[in-house]
Structure 1
Amino acid sequence: MALGRRLLAITLAIMSGGTAWAGPFPTGPLGGVKTWAVYYGAAPETAAELARFDLVVLDPTRHPPLNNVKRHGALLLMYVSLGEVNIHSPAYPSIATEPWVLAPNPNWPEARRLDPRAPGYERWLLEQVVPAALAGPVNGLFLDTADTPMELERAEPARFGGATEALERVLGALHRAHPRALLVLNGGLPLVERSRPMLAGVAVESILTDYDFKAQRYRARAPEAARERAAALRRVTALGLPVLALEYAPPDDAGWTQSLIIKTREAGLIPYISTIGLDKVFTQTLR
């Protein structure tokens, strides 16, 4: 099929720079993780499937019963957004009128971008959001959307200069406040390089795949773009961190999904394949 041929072309283009994207064999608290899942729904019946994974990422405000998810020893990380806040989040009303709450994310209209340089941002995150996420039998945090303020800084350095340094400071403060919490940064690869001692792992999305929000279509990423993402990833994986890879594919395309799993594992990454909403549990990577 066309998608399969394009995926092969992407893989060959990436692999031309080396046989694997990952670096040294990962060690540390996530060194034994072979499977993982991300699920932002709350259906109680999903707990049995989630319990089969080594590591599970959930939404702290709505999720299946946590003790059921952890009954076989799964590590549990709760989602925390560093660079955006959803207007339906319980943490949003208290900051809705703050000047550091910025315009919506065009791809996610219900998400408001945040300016991490503001003192009020750090207080809100560390005193309200993080403690709520770590309540209960939780092992750590899955830190998302660091790329949002970093991209604002790249696009408008005069207006948003210092955003990356601010995120680094916030990560340091978070780590000092909760030294036993496992921190996994999703994206934000330049920040990973600067914050390596604080992190247990890194997650990356859509190296091989892409999602067209306007057309609402899954597609293979262009080979050159995939190669650029893989090159950035190599710099990070050289640090020896486990890499959790999240790719998106249509739920009814088993062939494409299996190809993604194989190619990601060959690269030394830990795959999970889902739909863009992350509201269902897919178990193909358990096979």
Structure 2
Amino acid sequence: MGVMAKPSAARRWWRVVFHAGLVLAMGQTNACAKPARDPRFPAGTDWRWAIDYGPATDATLAGQYDVLVLEPDHDRTPASLRRPGGLAIGYISLGEVEKSRPAAAALAAAGALLAANPHWPDARYADLRHARWRAEVLDRLVPAILAKGYNGIFMDTLDNAEAMERANPIDNAGMVDAAASLVRAIHERFPAAIIVMNRGYALLPKVADAIDGVLGEAMATRWNFRTRTYDTLSEGDWNWQAARLRAARQANPALALMTLDYWEPGDAAGVRALYDRERAAGFVPYVSVLALDRIVPEPGR
């Protein structure tokens, strides 16, 4: 079977808004069983990456980037888009399963799926502690992505682990630890695969040495669904994510720190300002539209 389909733009943004208020201390990283991974991404911050979940990625634009994050369910090969020496990474949802997915019924029958996402009832939360879900990820989903020629995986929806455990600490006890254990199991099973995590700050201290990159989504800007415009976030919001990214880098100096901001492409000056801000902070930025359905070129590059 294929990997989980990407969430809609609205779903992705709801998760960013919901979890942005969960302020927690990073604490100390767990003792590492293995040394931190060697760098898998280009050195420094003067490299470029893009994310495109659309079915018709512009090959000319794609060839201008060192790293691409793509939806692997589309009928194409990453080699057709990846530049020589570049990397193509496939999207995977680890924290929830859409009802339309082929394995959804079997996973539910096995007890591996929990309540429906109240904001998106077509999806159910995955029980990251359940052996059936872990087997699905390790034995089917990740191998399917790698078999298509992707260099690794981009893990989404791991913030769900923290949200579930905080909402019901008794029934969902151990969810964050289970999420961290799954990430480490992926690293151990597929040591050659590049692993990038979207947010997942509650488990980041436990897995920083087992991943190659972490993404801070909506660092400086967001889409406002009420006004239907892009908004600038507060300095405190930006600092909250930046502190967690930097703490992860301290735990794993080889970790690539990537950022994703949303802004109107027609405002070239505004887009350039976002790139400049994130680069000045030591991050590798990308600025796009909320739908993430095409590559939006950086102005002047």
TM-score when scaled to structure 1? 0.82
Would you say 1:78 and 2:78 are equivalent positions?
no
SS class of match (1:41): coil
C-alpha distance in 2, partners of 1:283/1:88? Answer: 33
Letter in 1 for 2:60: A
Match in the other structure for 1:57: 69
RMSD: 2.3
Moved more, 67-76 or 99-108: 99-108
- Contact 1:77–1:138 at 8 Å: present in 2 too? yes
Tell me, yes or no, if the aligned pair for 2:66 and 2:83 is still in contact at 8 Å: no
Higher relative contact order (CA 8 A, sep 6+): 1
Question: Match of 1:141, SS?
Answer: strand
Write out aligned runs for 1:38-117 (5 A): 38-43=51-56, 46-62=58-74, 64-92=76-104, 94-105=106-117, 108=120, 110-117=122-129
Contact 2:153 2:196 in 1 (8 A): yes
Task: Give yes or no for the alignment of 1:250 onto 2:293.
Answer: no
Quickly say closer, same or farther: Cα 1:104–1:48, change in 2 above 3 A: farther
**Counterpart selection for 1:28 from 12, 34, 39:** 39
User: Would the aligned equivalents of 1:39 and 1:279 in 2 still touch at CA under 8 Å?
Assistant: yes
Aligned to 2:172: 160
In structure 2, relative to structure 1, the CA distance for the partners of 1:105 and 1:223 (3 Å cut) is: farther
1:42 alignment partner, SS class: coil
Does structure 1 conserve the Cα–Cα contact (< 8 Å) formed by 2:216 and 2:241? no
Instruction: Find 1:268's aligned residue among 275, 282, 287.
Output: 282
Secondary structure of the 2:209 match is: helix
Distance 1:148 1:286 in 2: 37
Deviation, structure 1 residue 223: 2.7
1:147, distance to aligned residue in structure 2 (A):
0.6
Note the C-alpha offset of 1:126: 1.1
Whether 1:180 and 2:192 are equivalent positions in the alignment is yes
Instruction: Answer yes or no: is 1:278 the counterpart of 2:301.
Output: no
Secondary structure of the 2:170 match is: helix
In structure 2, the CA distance between the partners of 1:281 and 1:28, relative to structure 1 (3 Å rule), is same
**Residue 286 of structure 1: how far off its partner (Å):** 7.4
Q: Which runs of 5+ in 2 are unaligned?
A: 1-36
Report the TM-score when normalising by structure 2: 0.79
Report the CA distance shift for 1:93/1:140 in structure 2 as closer, same or farther (over 3 A). same
Name the SS of the counterpart of 2:40 in structure 1.
Answer: coil
Distance 2:277 2:83 in 1: 31
Number of equivalenced pairs: 261
The one-letter amino acid of 2:54's match is G
